[in-house]
Amino acid sequence: MKRTGFLILLVSVVSSFFTVMIYKYFDPPQQVIIRESSPAKYTNYTDRLFSDVAKRQFLSSAPTDFTSAAGAVTPAVVNIRATTENDFDLWGGYGGSTGSGVIISPDGYIVTNNHVVEDSDDLEITLFDKRKMEAKVIGTDPSTDLALLKITDERNFPFLQMGNSDSLLVGEWVLAVGNPFNLESTVTAGIISAKGRNINILEDDYSIESFIQTDAAVNPGNSGGALVNTNGELVGINTAIITRSGKYEGYSFAIPVNLAQKIIRDLKDFGVVQRGFLGIFPEEITEETAESLGLASMNGAFISRVNGNSAAEDAGLEAKDVIVTINGNDVNSVPELQEQVARFRPGNTITIEYIRDGKKQKTEVTLKNQSNTTSLIGARDDDLLMKLGFELREITDRERKNLKIGSGVYVVSILRGSAIEKTQMDPGYIITKVNDKRVSSVDEIITEFQNTKGTVMLEGFYENFPGEYYYAFKVEQ
């Protein structure tokens, strides 16, 4: 009996062994891949199957691997605490508002939302490693809800590389990174839901709303934080959510970084935004408008009126024209038109494609300022100043407050080979006196120059260097 049972067991084992061997011989084993990483590719790569894929202009990593991007981004996102003298609370301290900001350069420049720092007297920055530092406001732009700050400490800071918001595609993965309530950092993931969104939250006369909409979770305290692609490049500044409960409900909005870069440069160079204008009244294209004009689609911006002596009139644009591209970038709506134009200064020339009488045409447009000239607002290049070799502007109220001075005139730029360059003066010099007489405007400086025969002595200072600096040169009448 025992012998019989043993034989049965032996036959079963041998049969099972041969069955498995035969199965493996005829059917090789499959691999179960729990996680597989793919190498990074340039996203302008296309193959024969997808030859119509839009070309991309930055390096993007695997679309669902967020760890590298999160690790690169979080050290450059800070917490901002803004207080005013009126923010006294019952506990004997100061209240104020809080938000997030993004360090964009190694010397400590930060971009955030205007509503985070609006009307503030003091700014406290908390870095990723919990260090606290002071910052000052360089400039603000309510029209786009952006602000530029500068950390007062002189050291190297981690910062984010700029991406290309034009290349974003609906459905693409992005990360929203903030530093709210001193929680060090928060990272959420989502996709691009739409582009060129206008949600009517900005009340400025020249407001620009062309938001990137995402479903990445953004909650109070994340305003001013970073929206990044999966390669860790900054593509937007998180600004707003649409909600009924006061909490995140699936709709968040960010300012495109391509627009933000221009605003940041203006605030850094001039203290104010140099905004170019077409001089038109644009409208969205309705079904009736498209039918009456014989348009193939409702994409574009319809010109209902052209202002006299405007940039648009000078370029030959007319009412009932439909703008479809600016510098080769598609214009599908009025917000997209406003965003594209807002990237340029007065005096810049852009290429516009438009449809008139069913035919596509092209024109070159030189943008103007609010006063219908091509001059930069706040910067003066009068003949005498240009002859001497520099551009000047009045300092802003914010600069006057930060610098703790009553008056002064800011040197915007210096021409090579000019009399001013030979004095070794650098841009950023703040003139406080001309021939020992205090000056508070460009006009006062020009008057002093005109009334001087011979040598002019300038007295002033540089924001980041201690002491007074003096420069002398001759004015030839």
418 is catalytic: no
Annotated catalytic residue within 61, 97, 100, 145? 145
Separation of alpha carbons 177 and 160, rounded Å: 12
Annotated catalytic residue within 223, 252, 310, 333? 223
Tokens for 432, please give them: 């406080």
Q: Are 421 and 406 in contact (CB under 8 A)?
A: no
Q: Are 224 and 102 in contact (CB under 8 A)?
A: yes
Q: Which helix (H) or strand (E) covers residue 412, if one does?
A: strand 409-414
Q: Write the Ramachandran bin of 51: left for phi over 0, alpha for psi from -120 to 50, otherwise beta.
A: alpha
Q: Pseudo-torsion of CA 464, 470, 474, 477, nearest 10°?
A: 70
Tokens for 190, please give them: 């989502």
- What is the DSSP annotation of 143-184? TTTEEEEEESS-S----PPB--GGG--TT-EEEEEE-GGG-S
* Tokens 């910052």 found at: 135
Q: Are 276 and 398 in contact (CB under 8 A)?
A: no
* Residue 199 burial (10 A CB sphere; 0-12, 13-18, 19+): middle
The one-character DSSP state at 185 is: -
Q: Which helix (H) or strand (E) covers residue 87, if one does?
A: none
Q: What is the β-pairing status of strands 226-228 and 173-178?
A: antiparallel
Annotated catalytic residue within 61, 115, 120, 266? 115
Q: What is the β-pairing status of strands 390-394 and 349-356?
A: unpaired
223 is catalytic: yes
* Tokens 């802003």 found at: 396
User: Under DSSP, is residue 4 helix (H, G, I), strand (E, B) or coil?
Assistant: helix
| Sequence-distant (≥ 6) Cβ neighbours of residue 380 within 8 angstroms | 391, 392, 393, 442, 446
Q: Say which amino acid occupies 180.
A: P
Q: Which of 269, 270, 268 is nearest to 150 (CA)?
A: 268
Q: CA-based diameter of the chain, in Å?
A: 131
167 is catalytic: no
The one-character DSSP state at 37 is: -
Q: Which helix (H) or strand (E) covers residue 293, if one does?
A: helix 287-293
Q: Which residues have a catalytic role annotated?
A: 115, 145, 223
